[in-house]
Structure 1
Amino acid sequence: MDASVRKSTFEPPAPVPRTVPPSRLEIIRTVLRNPLELWGTPSYTWPWIVTRFFGQTTIIANDPGLIRHVLVDNASNYEMSEIRQLVLRPILRDGLLTAEGPVWKRSRKAMAPVFTPRHARGFARQMREQSELFLDRYQSDGQGVVRDVAVDMTELTYAILSECLFSGGIVSEQGDFAKDVDDLLHSMGRIDPLDLLKAPKWIPRLTRIRGLGVLRKFRELVRRTMDHRRAIIRTEREKAPDDFLTLLLELERPDGLTSAEIEDNILTFIGAGHETTARALAWTLYCVAHCPDVREAMEREIDTVTASGVDPVEWLDQMPHVRASFEEAMRLYPPAPSINRDAIADDRYTAPNGEVVEIAKGTTVLVMPWTLHRHELYWDKPRLFDPSRFLPGEREKIGRFQYLPFGAGPRVCIGATFALQEAVIALAVLMHRFRFETTPQTNPWPVQKLTTQPAGGLPMRIIPRKP
C-alpha cells in the first residue's frame, strides 16, 4: 500500500440501518420507493437471516461460505428468483441477464469469445478514443462547467459500448439517450406491488405502463440496426465489421440463436450492459471529489503513465490507484445491489463453526452486495470510502465471496474485464484533463432500481487541469 496516501475518512450518503423491523405496509412502501432503505442492523451484522416476506421464506445470505454454496458449489439447485424475473423479463426477455436453461447456455457460449480478457484488451484503443472525444463537451473559459456526471457517464459508456461492440452502428440514433435509459429503468426496472404478490404475468403492472413506449423505441432501434447489418453481410460481407453484432447475426441458425434471442441480447447490452459501468463511474468521481489525498494520488499516477506513452491496454495494470478507487466505489454502490435465487429442491449449508442453514424447496435466497459490501463482520469501517483496501498488498486479502460487484458462479458478469478496463481508461482520460468538484447542489441519495442510482443526479463542476 502507498504509505503517502492517508486513509480516507469520507462517509458517502447511504441509508442508516433500521433498528426496528418494518411493518407489512412499510415493507411495501419501502420496496416500491427504495429497497436499499429496507435493511435493518442484522443485515449488516449477522452472517445470515431467515425471515418471511408475504408468506415466502427468504434467507438473506451474507456469509461468504453460504454465498459460495448457493452461487457456485450447488448452483444447479438454484434458479433465478421469480420476482426478479417478473421485473426484468418484460424488458429483456431472453437476453443474457434473464434467459435460463438451454437458451442461456447457447447465448453464453456464443458470446463468451468476445469477452475473454485477451479479446477485451483489444478494445483499449477505442475506449481511449471515445473518452477523448467526449472531453469536447467540457470545454469552458477556464472557470469550469457544471454538468450532471450521472447523465454524462451514461452517454460516455454508451458511446464506448457502441463503438467497441457495434462499430458505431447505433450511435447515429437521435434523441436524449440518457433520459430514455433512465425512464426505462425507472418505470420498467422496478418492483410492482403485483410482483410482491406473485400475480400472474398477464395482469398489467400499472407502474410500468409509462416505460412501454420507451421499450418499444429501444426495440425498434435494435431491429433497424440488425436489418442494416444483415443487408451488409448479405451483399458485401467483406465490408461488415467483425464485431459483436456481426458475430451474433452469423449465429442466427437452427442450431444457434433465433432472431428474437439476438434482438434480446442486443437490447440487454444497449440498455443495461453499459448502465452498470456508468453508475459506478459517476459514484467514483463523486467520492473522489471528497478525498483530496485520493484524488492527488490518482492524478499523479495518471499523469505519469500517460506521459510515458504506454499503450492504454496496459493502463489497467499500471494504474492501481485509479482501479482501487473504482473498485471501492463499486463496493459502496454496487452496480447490481441484489442477486436473487430460488431453491429448486431442499438443501442445507453447514458453516465452518458447525451451524446449519436449512434451505427448503422454494426458499428465496437473497445475496445482497449492498449489505455484504457494508457488513461489519467482513470490512473495517465499512461505511467509509477507502480505496486503500484495493491497493496491491491489501486487495489480495479480500475474499472472493466477500466482494461481488460482478456476481459469481456460472452467471458471473460476462463483461467484468471489459468494464474494469473501460472504467480505468475513462477515468484516466477524464481526470488527466479535468478535475471534478462538488457543488452546493450535489446531494445524491442512492436508490435501487435496476442499478444503484443517485436520486437527484450528480451535478459537478468540471475544471480544466491541463491544456
Structure 2
Amino acid sequence: MDTQPAPFVPPAPKPRTSPPSTLEMIRIVYRNPLELWGEPTYNEPWISAKGAGGPLVIANDPALIRHVLVDNAKNYKMATVRQKILRPILRDGLLTAEGEVWKRSRKAIAPVFTPRHIFGFAQPMLKRTLEFVTRYEAGGTSDIAHDMTLLTYDILAETLFSGEIAGEPGSFENEIDRLFETMGRVDPLDLLRAPDWLPRLTRIRGRKTMAYFRKIVTDTVKMREEKFRRDPDAVPQDFLTLLLKAEGPDGLTRPEVEDNIITFIGAGHETTARALGWTLYCLAESPWERDRVEQEIDQVLAREPDPTKWLDVMPLTRAAFDEALRLYPPAPSINREPIVPEMWRDLYIPKHAAVLVMPWVVHRHRKLWDRPDAFLPERFHPGNREKIDRFQYLPFGAGPRVCIGASFAMQEAIIALAILLSRFRFDATAETKPWPVQKLTTQPQGGLPMRITPRHR
C-alpha cells in the first residue's frame, strides 16, 4: 500500500472573499501585493475592472497571455506603474529599456547567453559552489535565503564579471535588501498615477542605497578599463567586456552600459537566489520528495563529472526546482499597457489599461492546475511537463522580452542544488515560518532559517 503522505502546501495568502476599499488596497499594495487578489482572480480566465489608477485587465487565459506577450506584443508597452518603480533603479537596463534602446541592449548582450557561452560558465559555477559550501561542513543553523543570495552573487561575479566587481559581497547583500525595501515597492502615488513632480517617499528613502550601487558600477568599469590599458590581451571576454565593446556611436552609450551592469548585478542574481531558497525549503518540508532528489543526484554525480550535462540527466531535481518556481515565481507580475485599444474575443482592452499577466496567479489558477497550492514536482516529471501549456507557466516570462538569462539560471540552479544536496541535508526548524512577500521578487519574509547536517561523515 502506498503510504506517501499528503503533499506539502507551502504558505501563501488566502484569496480574498471581498474586494478591499481604495485605502485598504493602497495599504496592501505597499505592504505585499500578493495579498490583494480575490477568489475570482484565481478562477476566471480574465477580469476587466476599474482600478484605483484607471482600467485594469487581469489576464489568466493562456491564449490571452500569448496574445499580449507574443502575437500582438507590438501593441503592448511596459506598464506605466511598473516603469515608475523600476526605472529609477535600472534606468535603461534591459528590463526597463524600450524601443531602440532595448533593441541595442538586447543585441549587445545576446552573445553572452548563447549555449556555447553558457556551457563555458558551468565549471566556474561549480567551482564557486564548491568553495561556498565549505561553510556548512560543521553543520548548524543558517538563513538559507541570505546564503543563496551570497552564493548567486559569487557565481554572477565569477561568470559574467570574471571576479572583478568592486565592493564587498556582504555589504552588497544588505544593500540589495534595503533597495527592495524602499525603491522596490509600489509607491501609493504611482498607483494613483499622481503627477511625477510630487515627491515619492519610497524613492527619497532609497537614494543613498541607489548611490551605493551606482558607485559599484562606476568603480567596476574603471577597474576593467585600467586592465584594458595595461594589457588588452589579458582582458577576459566576459559580459562586462562585451558591453564595453558595444559602446560607441552605433551601439550603447556609457550610461546604457552602466545601466545594464546594474541590472545584472541587482536583478540577475536575486531571482535565482530566491528560487533556490524556496526549493530547499519545499524539499525540507517534503522529505519523500527530497529523498528522490538526493538519490538522483548521488547517482548522477557518481557517473557524470561534466556539470554541463547535469540539467538533462537530473529530471527529478529539475522538476523540484520548476515546481518551486511555479509556487514562488521570482518575478510575480508582468505588467503591460496597450498603445491603442483593441478587442480580444469579447474582451475590450482600453487604451492606458493596466494589463496584468501575473505568474503568481496564473501558476495557482484553479482552472489550469490540479491541486494548485500543493508542492507536487511530479507535474514536471518527463511525460507530464509536456502537457503544460507554454503560457500557463511563466517563470521567465514569454515573447520578445523573455528573460535572456533563463538558460544561465537553470544551469546555475541545477549545479548549485546538486552540490548542496549531495553534501548536506537541509531541514526546517521551529523558526522556519516564511511568508511570501512581493518586493520586485517573491521574498520569504522572516528568512529561511534551516538546520544543516552533513550527509556523509
Query: Which TM-score tier does this pair reach, normalised by the shorter chain?
Result: over 0.9
The 5-angstrom pairing of residues 43-192 of structure 1 reads 43-140=41-138, 144-170=139-165, 173=168, 175-192=170-187
Gap regions ≥5 residues in structure 1: 351-355
2: CA distance between counterparts of 1:283 and 1:344? 37
The one-letter code sitting in structure 2 at the alignment partner of 1:72 is: V
Range with bigger deviation, 110-119 or 374-383: 110-119
Q: What is the Cα deviation at residue 173 of structure 1?
A: 2.7
Would you identify which runs of 4 or more consecutive aligned residues in structure 1 move more than 4 Å? Answer: 4-8
Range with bigger deviation, 326-335 or 210-219: 210-219
Q: What is the Cα deviation at residue 5 of structure 1?
A: 11
TM-score, normalised with respect to structure 2: 0.98
CA deviation digits over 1:161-205, x for unaligned, max 9? 110000000166364222111111111111011111222334321
The answer as to 2:247 corresponding to 1:257 is: no
Q: What is the Cα deviation at residue 210 of structure 1?
A: 2.7
What is the aligned-residue RMSD (CA, Å)? 1.5
The 5-angstrom pairing of residues 61-460 of structure 1 reads 61-140=59-138, 144-170=139-165, 173=168, 175-350=170-345, 356-460=346-450
The one-letter code sitting in structure 1 at the alignment partner of 2:366 is: E
SS at 2:105 equivalent: helix
Gap regions ≥5 residues in structure 2: none
The one-letter code sitting in structure 1 at the alignment partner of 2:272 is: T
Range with bigger deviation, 308-317 or 436-445: 308-317
TM-score, normalised with respect to structure 1: 0.96
2: CA distance between counterparts of 1:298 and 1:363? 44
Q: What is the Cα deviation at residue 264 of structure 1?
A: 0.4
SS at 1:383 equivalent: coil
SS at 1:336 equivalent: coil
CA deviation digits over 1:82-114, x for unaligned, max 9? 000000000000000000010000000111111
2: CA distance between counterparts of 1:238 and 1:394? 49
Identity %: 62
Q: 1:172 to 1:24 in 2, by over 3 A?
A: closer
Are 1:329 and 1:385, in contact at CA under 8 Å, matched by a contact in 2?
Answer: yes
SS at 1:274 equivalent: helix
2: CA distance between counterparts of 1:327 and 1:282? 13
Are 1:5 and 1:293, in contact at CA under 8 Å, matched by a contact in 2?
Answer: no
Q: What is the Cα deviation at residue 6 of structure 1?
A: 5.3
2: CA distance between counterparts of 1:194 and 1:172? 34
Q: 1:7 to 1:64 in 2, by over 3 A?
A: farther
The one-letter code sitting in structure 2 at the alignment partner of 1:213 is: K
The one-letter code sitting in structure 2 at the alignment partner of 1:134 is: F
2: CA distance between counterparts of 1:62 and 1:432? 38
Partner of 2:24: 26
The one-letter code sitting in structure 1 at the alignment partner of 2:155 is: I
Partner of 1:464: 454
2: CA distance between counterparts of 1:116 and 1:431? 28
